[in-house]
Amino acid sequence: MKKLFFLLSFVTILSTSCKDDDTQSEQWDDSPRTEVPSDLTNAIWQVGSISFGNFWDDQGQYVGAGHDGAIRYYFKGDGTYEMYSYISVRSYNCLTQSYTYMKGTVEVNGDKITFHPVEGKYKGADNCASSNNFERPIKEDEKSKFAKTYQWEVAEGNDGETHLYMLEDGLAAEPENILIYDNEM
């Protein structure tokens, strides 16, 4: 059920994704990229969590988790990527959701991968305060927070499954700083 929810969320974002225009076409042409190694492609890399706290209504019916979220990456061999992020927070029957969709190019040099966002969008949804609902393209000055370099490795984990491990440049290699993505394909 959880996978279905994320799939539907991401399909919604994809179906309303940004349209190319001349400016975006130039940005794509100017954005640095390298070929992406095959161990990163042909996979959907996802990390997610769900809270231990849950909510029930006054009739004893389950309403949902206190919060949950996921980040997904899809890399293509031509040096492009797509990133999806979903975060939700619940307070009883009120649910606030945040979606981020980003497309861009990547440079892979050895064990380093650098993300160069080109286009994307934000969407917010709040079922208790519709004035908080919005959908808009990501602004030029906001792209920089997604332009990051990570150390990466695809390896077998203790669970026997293949994972993508990413550590943002400048952070200590402590367990809480290492993002571990599962291959969902």
Percentage of the chain modeled with pLDDT above 70: 86
Structural domain boundaries of the chain? Answer: 2-183
Render pLDDT for 90-116 as a digit per residue (tens, 0 to 9). Answer: 887 888 999 999 999 999 999 999 999
The stretch 163-185 carries a mean pLDDT of 87
Residue 18 pLDDT: 44
pLDDT value at 7 more than 60? no
Reply yes or no on whether the pLDDT at 57 is more than 90.
no
Confidence at residue 22, expressed as pLDDT on a 0 to 100 scale = 53
97 or 54: which carries more pLDDT confidence? 97
Average pLDDT, the chain: 84
Indicate the range of 54-68, 73-87, 94-108 predicted with least confidence: 54-68
Which whole number is the average pLDDT over 131-136? 96
Q: Please tell me the distance from the alpha carbon of residue 4 to that of residue 153, in angstroms, as a whole number.
A: 28
168 CB-near residues (< 8 Å, 6+ apart): 148, 149, 150, 177
pLDDT for res 24: 57
